[in-house]
Amino acid sequence: MAVLALAGLPGAPGATTAALALQRVWPVEGDRRVLLAECDPDGGAVLAGALEGRLGADVGLRNLAVSLRGDQTLQGAFWRQLVRLSDDGGHDDGRHVLLPGLPSPNAAAALAPEWAQLAELFVAIDRMPQHAHDVIIDLGRNGAYGPTRLLAQRADLVLLVVRGTLRALSAAQSRIGMLHQVLEADQNRPSPALGVLLITEGSYGRREVEQQLKMPVVATLPYRPAEAAVLSDGAPGRKFAKSPLLKAAKDAVTPIRQQVAGRRRLLYSPVQQRLEEVRRAR
């Protein structure tokens, strides 16, 4: 059970590709499903990239905004905007679904009043009694700071996707303060857990990144451009299911889920629940 948000940095560090890799190997148990929600306010990339334009732009966040101009509720319109994706073997198992992103930054303004509702909806579908969804939110490089910041605030865990290069670390240091402010801004709710998803490109390893950013590296993914292109651009990859990138993604899921589980144990402990009740009563 998780609502996970991935935030990127300037210079395209690979947040969308990392999100796709994690979703592809995310374990789905019982009737649960796993949803990848493209909520990058700068525009989505999966329809034209991984799906190679095989689907039209008549589903996703853009169409959700159009539907809400009528008399539809957010939840009523939401389910019709999802696309079913294939699993590791290329089979549509019905358990991996995508909410395609916006076509351009201009389209984000149309959803401005609905981001808060969408954030609550992601939390709600994670906890549905039947057909619950784990949710992976791709916020892109700017989605954690503008109107879409509400999605990050309602997540269990926010991972900043960082490469192990000096340029990436410099960009990360300039944004971490902003990210802390955003996640701690809502005094009525505990802040999400915050960590780094490290892409192992460059000369800075896990320990150096943690020392520089003062944040834990929760998981790592290898820098494998040819394999990443299968996810980012739909490049051919017959043996992709056994690739080092997907193997690392499978390994990454365990510590990510452990971080989420640890936060939820603290959040929903009897003592914490009582503290929340007292705080809300003030």
Give residue 158's pLDDT band: very low, low, confident or very high (50, 70, 90).
very high
Which pLDDT tens digit goes with each residue over 240-262?
Answer: 889 999 999 999 999 999 999 98
**pTM assigned to the model:** 0.89
* 86 bridge partner residues: 92
Name every residue whose Cβ is closer than 8 Å to that of residue 256 and which is 6 or more positions away in sequence.
Answer: 2, 4, 22, 157, 159, 218, 219
**What domains, with CATH codes, occur in the chain?**
3-281 (3.40.50.300)
Which pLDDT tens digit goes with each residue over 39-70?
Answer: 998 887 776 666 655 555 577 887 776 666 66
Cβ atoms of 5 and 140 within 8 Å: the answer is: no
Given CA atoms 22, 150, 156, 195 in this order, what sign does their dihedral have?
positive
Which pLDDT tens digit goes with each residue over 121-130?
Answer: 999 999 888 7
Query: Which phi and psi (to 5°) does residue 165 adopt?
Result: -115, 160
Q: Where are the beta strands (DSSP E) in the chain?
A: 3-7, 33-38, 83-86, 92-99, 133-138, 157-163, 193-200, 217-222
As a whole number of angstroms, the distance between CA 191 and CA 157 comes to 9
Give residue 89's pLDDT band: very low, low, confident or very high (50, 70, 90).
very low
**Encoded tokens for 273:** 């629940």
Give residue 209's pLDDT band: very low, low, confident or very high (50, 70, 90).
very high
Average pLDDT, the chain: 85
∠ at Cα 177 (176, 183), nearest 5°?
A: 85
Given CA atoms 125, 129, 132, 134 in this order, what sign does their dihedral have?
positive
Average pLDDT (217-226) is: 95
Q: What pLDDT does 190 receive?
A: 81
